[in-house]
Amino acid sequence: MTETIDPIFVSVLQRRLKAITAEMGLTLLRTTRSPILNEARDFVTGLYDAQGRMLEQTEYIPVLAFALQPVCERIARDFAGDIHPGDVFLHNDVFSGGNQNNDVAAFKPVFHGGELVAWAACKGHQADIGGAVPGGYNPEAREVWQEAFRIPAVKVIDRGKVRRDVWALVFANVRLKIVEDDLRAQIGGCTVGERALTALFERHGGARVLAHIDALYDSTERMVRREIARIPDGTYHGESWAFYDGVADGTRMKIDLDVSVAGDTVTFDFTGSSPQTPGFVNAPYAATASAVMLTFLMLIDPDLPHNHGLTRPVRIVNPEGSFLNAAFPAATTFGNSLTGPTSDAIFRAFSQALPDMVSAGWNRMLGFTVTGQDPRRNGDGNGSGNKYVDILFLALKGGSGATRGADGYDHIGLINCAGGILAQDYEMFELQDPHILRRHEFARDSAGPGQWRGGLGVETEFVIDGEDVTGIAFGDGVEDEARAFGLFGGGPGTANRIVLRQPDGGERAPKAKEIIRGIPRGTVFFQHAGGGGGYGDPRRRPAELVRQDVVNDLLSVDAAARDYGVVLDPATLAVDEAATARRRGAGS
């Protein structure tokens, strides 16, 4: 008998699925040990149907979330006939659907009435995953084996029993014990999802739930198609650049994008983008596809359900062999970070069709991983007890681009996280690392000027008190051309910069992709993370808002006059109305 579809139950079902993924996320926040996960929240949780199609996600980090579904679909297909209650699979391999090797996913099947009906999955960025350097970011890598221990989908728990040989193989190739603990926590998060889904199926019956899942897909597809149909038909071109492949100074990689809107479908075509690089500045297909989805969702209804129906009207053309879809066995760890320049190209393209929806450029990420020995801790006998790894989420969070009607977000960080990565708590930062924080503050004059200004970047300074310290720079935005761009008359944000001030008085500014070994104890780390781009003519920004930024030491008196045409008395910070009118009227 055909199930009668109840539209109210479709809505209730969607919200219940969302609540389950949120509960899985709370489980990870409470049970993981690495600050990358429990403070920065560099993870995602998701539910998928029996075929691996997306049911719902909680996207703490969107670029990870949209890379879960292809892997789940592959596991469901490749292990068909050998999937049982109690099984758990691990996966990180970028050449079988993953987005970055450090992002390791756990998948658990869900059964009802003896039949596979769904999957629960958790993916998180691990503090280490083997490879040539601790932490996983290796600008010297020229192939995938120099980056990480590859984990194609592998069953680590079989019908509730741990496969100890497989488990030992995986973690024998990982430096830090904390990674094993965190993956146990991810498996626990999957179990929370499995239990909740099982209860849902038992309460409402398998046939009813499955029929309404199909109806949910169809409903979401109709909603997305309506959103696309509101965009004027046409082909819109956007381009942007990534800088320095980590091998040859001065290299530039072009993102060449045509966005074609035809009725209620949209195609993103990256044909013509630069070929893959010999270094690690490459993306696997999944990372670029995720970048497309998370950026596109910023331009349409934010309340759309995130399930399989969302992707049906969206087509992505991304030829293999470009640096946005690198062919095996390329190094690809930097692929997640290419979300920034990919989003830039998408915003530039849609600025022609959706000027009121796009944002100006977000600050490019310049990351710096610090690894070493913590002299405050004793070793555990296996060489890992006093090792530490920190990706310094505290320091890399720049500003977002402004949009029509709103300034950019200050200190938000990476667009591929869309604000999902949090900065570290100051006390926990000093507790977990042998570092002494000196300052962490908004960077004055960092925001791109505009009628709506960009988000502010930050400046961070701390003393490194570890031993055998290595620093790994991996990022972009140090070149003037790579500053967050302005739109419709808005100005760019500031460039990124890192400086290491050594105890002997020497200074070193790392390249955007570089390993620096043997950093002396007592070195002072300084980072300027740039601001976002501005939107609209800065001289149309209300003078009082400009004055408030000066009063709050976010903008200098000189920049107020130069960029906004607002003249302030240096002593009282009152607006000189006559001088401001003359300056703004003259356009100088």
Q: What is the pLDDT of residues 179-214, one digit of tens each?
A: 999 999 999 999 999 999 999 999 999 999 999 999
d(CA 314, CA 292): 10
Query: According to the model, what pLDDT value does residue 292 have?
Result: 95
Q: How far separated are the first and last CA of the chain, in Å rounded?
A: 75
Token couple for 163: 């496969």
Average pLDDT over residues 257-267: 98
* Burial zone of 361 (CB within 10 Å; 0-12 exposed, 13-18 middle, 19+ buried): buried
Q: Which helix (H) or strand (E) holds 431?
A: helix 426-432
Does residue 371 carry a pLDDT above 60? yes
Tens of pLDDT, residues 272-323: 999 999 999 999 999 999 999 999 999 999 889 999 999 999 999 999 999 9
Does residue 1 carry a pLDDT above 60? no
Question: Which one-letter amino acid corresponds to residue 145?
Answer: W
Answer yes or no: are the C-beta atoms of 436 and 462 closer than 8 Å: yes
Q: Please, what's the b/e burial string for 81-105 (b: 16 or more CB within 10 A of its CB; e: otherwise)? A: eebeeebbbbbbbbbbbbbbbbbbb
Q: Can you give the residue ranges of every domain in the chain?
A: 7-222, 359-541, 542-586
Query: According to the model, what pLDDT value does residue 381 have?
Result: 47
Tens of pLDDT, residues 415-433: 866 656 677 889 989 998 9
Query: According to the model, what pLDDT value does residue 35 have?
Result: 87
Average pLDDT over residues 438-449: 97
CA dist 532 to 136, 416, 451, Å? Answer: 28, 15, 13
Does residue 407 carry a pLDDT above 60? yes
Tens of pLDDT, residues 534-575: 999 999 999 999 999 999 999 999 999 999 999 999 999 999
Does residue 379 carry a pLDDT above 80? no
The closest of 476, 141, 529 to 333, measured between CA atoms, is: 141
Work out whether strand 43-49 and strand 115-125 pair parallel, antiparallel, or are unpaired. antiparallel
The closest of 25, 44, 171 to 98, measured between CA atoms, is: 44
| Helix, strand, coil percentages, rounded to 5, for the chain | 30, 25, 45
Does residue 120 carry a pLDDT above 90? yes
Query: According to the model, what pLDDT value does residue 66 have?
Result: 81
Query: According to the model, what pLDDT value does residue 423 have?
Result: 76
pLDDT band at 382 (very low <50, low <70, confident <90, very high): very low
Does residue 141 carry a pLDDT above 60? yes
Average pLDDT over residues 502-509: 94
d(CA 149, CA 163): 18
pLDDT band at 63 (very low <50, low <70, confident <90, very high): confident
Contacts of 143 (CB under 8 A, 6+ apart): 329, 330, 331
Query: According to the model, what pLDDT value does residue 380 have?
Result: 53
SS (H, E, C) 525-562: EEEEECCCCCECCHHHCCHHHHHHHHHCCCCCHHHHHH
The closest of 138, 193, 224, 250 to 17, measured between CA atoms, is: 193
Query: According to the model, what pLDDT value does residue 378 have?
Result: 73
- Of the two residues 96 and 381, the one the predictor is more confident about is 96
Query: According to the model, what pLDDT value does residue 586 have?
Result: 66
